Chain A
Amino acid sequence: MVTDAAILEAVGEVPDPEVPVLTIADLGVLRGVRHEGDEVVVTITPTYSGCPAMDLIRHEVELTLQSLNVDGRVETVLSPAWTTDWMSESGKAKLVDYGIAPPSASGPVMLRLSIRCPLCGSPDTTELSHFGSTSCKSLWRCNTCREPFDHFKSL
């Protein structure tokens, strides 16, 4: 019998296909595990409604369950809505190492706080676009080292 904690730990290692340095546990996309009769149900939630990575994540979780010999399925839930507040501290640290500025306080901030450049650490940066290479990122440029970078935007 595989314990729930062991299931969570194993499926939590599934990487995010768009930001492979993060696992779905780091992101807060993995919501939990429960039992329905003999069946194990793993719940996940999308970062954005249209996140194209969800199908692949669901498939990877199913494969992980199979490798544990667990009879289970994956359920997608929308509520409560995902927020960047669920991203783990270790996940945020991994993002910086990967060259992506981590999210700060949730929600669009009209009076903007500075986003620190993940490459040189300078706070002198400019947002080029609200929208970046994936739904969850915006596009920035550092005015000190002149490098462009992605920011994992707050939601």
Chain B
Amino acid sequence: MNDLFVYTLRLGDDALISAQRTAEWIAAAPQLEEDVALGNIGLDQLGQARSLLQYAGSLDGRTEDDLAYFRDEREFLNAQLCELPNGDFGFAMARLLYFATYQHLLYDELRSSADETLAGVAGKAVKEVAYHVDHAMQWVLRLGDGTEESHRRMQAGLDALWPYTAELFESDPLVQRLPVAVDPSTLHDAWLERVLAVIDESTCERPSSSYQHTGGRLGRHTEHMGYLLAELQHVARSHPGATW
């Protein structure tokens, strides 16, 4: 498969699977304003996913819908961080902090890519993601530095997801030889600096786990991915070609 196709799919799948998990919060968030906020954040992620999957599809003779609904689990190249089940609200905000900070650094670099389409998508997305980072940051500070219970849950979310963060920054031969790509390993230091500053200010402890999961970029996923795809894909697969 073509390098540019695979690279674009990685970015698009991160956005698509994150959008799916974020959207699961709609009507289940702790307050109405948060329902609306997470709905909007999920919509931004879905919009980014659509632009990226349209582009990937144009390189491969497929549509965005073919790529979203008619690929199987092993063909999805998202990081495992994106697919984990939602957990509680502290878990969700820890994931948004980790993921949006990564996306922000990535899109900020990618907007000067020599590939005009990737640069265009990134230039658009970086402004949206700045709001996501800010939203996550406000909640991590508020919950971490809140009550005993909110602190405990925020810490639990930060700790549980830490072993899934290194995967976002893995380098491989593909990103090294593809000139229009951003090698994510170059973003790790800046990410650590930003995320640890928020964790410190929130009065939570820096997560200490050194074990790190991997495999998403090769299509290896957690046990939760199949269930997520079943929900995402079942209407399109039960009624192929349906429109409404």
Contact partners of B121 in chain A: CB under 8 A: 49, 78
- Asked whether, in the complex, the Cβ of B43 is within 8 Å of the Cβ of A82, the reply is no
Chain B proximity of A79: nearest CB distance (Å)? 3
B130 part of interface (Cβ distance < 8 Å): yes
Complex CA–CA separation, A107 to B104 (angstroms):
14
- In the assembled complex, how far is the CB of residue A137 from the closest CB belonging to chain B, in whole angstroms? 9
Give Cα A134 to B119, complex, Å.
25
Q: Which of A77, A81, A131 has the most CB of B within 10 A?
A: A131
Q: Is A155 an interface residue when CB atoms closer than 8 A count as contact?
A: yes
Q: Are B33 and A129 in contact (CB under 8 A)?
A: yes
In chain B between 33 and 74, which residues have their CB closer than 8 angstroms to a CB of chain A? 33-34, 36-41, 43-48, 50-51
- Name the B residues within 8 Å of A83 (CB-CB): 127
| Known contacts A108-B131, A155-B127; A46/B33 CB under 8 A | no
Nearest residue (CB) in A for B42 is A50
Interface residue from B36, B44, B48, B131 paired with A133 (Cβ < 8 Å):
B36
Taking a contact as CB atoms under 8 Å apart, the answer to whether B127 and A131 are in contact is: no
Tell which of B36, B124, B134 touches A49, judged by Cβ atoms closer than 8 Å. B124
A contact residues around B97 at 8 Å (CB): none
A57 CB–B CB distance under 8 Å: no
Which residues on the B side are within 8 Å of A110 (C-beta)?
134
Q: B3 CB to closest chain A CB, in angstroms?
A: 22
Known: A48-B47, A52-B43. A139 touches B36 (CB 8 A): yes
Indicate whether A51 reaches chain B with its CB closer than 8 angstroms.
Answer: yes
Whether B123 is near chain A, meaning CB under 8 Å from some CB there, is yes
Contact in complex: A129, B44 (CB < 8 Å): no
Where chain A touches its partner, the secondary structure class is loop
CB of A135 within 8 A of CB of B44, answer: yes
Residue pairs across A and B with CB atoms within 8 Å: the count is: 79
CB distance from B68 to the nearest CB of A (A): 14
Residue of A whose beta carbon sits closest to that of B44: A50
Q: CB of A37 within 8 A of chain B?
A: no
Chain A interface size, under 10 / 10 to 19 / 20 to 34 / 35 or more: 20 to 34
* Chain A neighbourhood of B38, CB < 8 A: 131
CB distance from B201 to the nearest CB of A (A): 14
- In the assembled complex, A128 has its CB within 8 A of some CB on chain B: yes
Residues B18-37 near A (CB distance < 8 A):
33-34, 36-37
Taking the closest CB of chain A, its distance from the CB of B142, in whole angstroms, is: 13
Looking at B121, B123, B124, which has the most chain A CB atoms within 10 Å of its CB?
A: B124
B36 pairs with A129, CB closer than 8 A: yes
Is B146 in the interface zone, CB < 8 Å from A? no
Option from A51, A77, A132, A134 in Cβ contact (under 8 Å) with B47: A51
CB distance from B6 to the nearest CB of A (A): 21
> In chain A, what residue has the closest Cβ to B41?
A131
Which 10 residue pairs across A and B have the least CB separation, nearest first? A50-B47, A49-B47, A79-B120, A131-B37, A78-B120, A129-B33, A50-B43, A131-B40, A81-B124, A81-B123
Given contacts A50-B46, A131-B131, A155-B128, 14 further A-B contacts (CB under 8 A): A48-B128, A50-B45, A50-B48, A79-B124, A107-B127, A108-B131, A128-B33, A129-B36, A130-B131, A130-B135, A131-B36, A131-B37, A132-B36, A134-B40
| A-B contact list, 6 entries, CB within 8 Å | A49-B44, A49-B47, A78-B121, A107-B130, A131-B40, A135-B40
Give the B-binding residues of A (Cβ under 8 A). Answer: 46, 48-52, 77-83, 107-108, 110, 128-135, 139, 153, 155
